[in-house]
Amino acid sequence: MSVKITTWNINSVRLRQGLVCDFLKEHSPDVLALQEIKCLEDQFPYKPFQELGYEHIEVSGQKAYHGAATLSRLPMERLPTTFCPLDHARHVSTRVIAENEDFELHNFYIPAGGDIADPEKNDKFRHKLDFLAVMNGYFTQRFVEGDVHQVLVGDFNIAPGEHDVWSHKQLLKVVSHTPIEVETLAKLQKSHDFIDTSRLFRDDEEKLYSWWSYRARDVMASNRGRRLDHIWVSPALEEAVRKPGRDGYEIHTEWRVKEKPSDHVPVTQILAL
């Protein structure tokens, strides 16, 4: 059984529900993880997605800010996880019940961190590091208990590699690519030996972006992007990623130039369970 998982920071699900529906019709992921939905649970547009076959929806909402939601054609069970030190709506954890084997899906919207990369001068940056520390503690403990099938997806708001940003040198002091963020994310990845699926079949020298600023006049001509959106799997699922081959992972770049797009594009990974 193949399961197609897509993550997408949609930057207001009510404003872009038509765009989401178009994507679901065209690409038919089994699971779609959305971030920055910017609405409360009772404001979420359940009906249009359910009519497309996504009957299972779990939402963590907050008025006007943040928020995450997971839509699935497969049954899901909500997991009682807590990650945000400030209790923002920034994650949804579920157990996806697949035909052959279940897996946990952790859908994250990690804080952006503001403009100053100093936790002593910037509370937003401190919050980002604290959020990552809670994640690290949780997944470190889970790994002690044993390797289970886990998938981490979402807008991590960190572009870790030199070729995950349009200019490594120019962005070294810009929040999302600073050394402290990159090192912290690397420690999180190591906490459970998570595999960044984007690089399994792609050379580290290949430029990969999933976000482009709204400030760019001609987004794709300048191509000043960053890879902020990630899909990680636990070691138990590495073979499930490798089986589909290179085509199992895709950054849907063309969705950045749709009418009224999000500044992020969908990112997909197929798992061969």
Confidence of residue 100 (pLDDT cuts 50, 70, 90): confident
What was the pLDDT predicted at 226?
Answer: 98
Q: Note the Cα 127 to chain centre separation in Å.
A: 18
What was the pLDDT predicted at 115?
Answer: 97
pLDDT above 90 covers what percent of the chain?
A: 92
The three-state secondary structure class of 189 is helix
Give pTM, 2 decimals. Answer: 0.97
What was the pLDDT predicted at 99?
Answer: 83
For the ranges 22-31, 89-98, 206-215, 236-245, which has the lowest average pLDDT?
236-245
Q: Specify the number of domains making up the chain.
A: 1
What was the pLDDT predicted at 101?
Answer: 85
The three-state secondary structure class of 205 is coil
**Is it the case that residue 206 has pLDDT exceeding 90?**
yes
The mean pLDDT value of the chain amounts to 96
Provide the H-helix boundaries in the chain: 17-27, 46-50, 123-145, 168-171, 179-191, 219-222, 238-242
Pairing verdict, β 76-78 and 91-96: antiparallel
CATH number of the domain that residue 31 is part of: 3.60.10.10
Domain that holds residue 65: 2-272
Contact 192, 140 (CB under 8 A): yes
Q: Whole-angstrom Cα distance, residue 3 to residue 96?
A: 10
**Is it the case that residue 245 has pLDDT exceeding 80?**
no
User: What average pLDDT does the segment 199-228 reach?
Assistant: 94
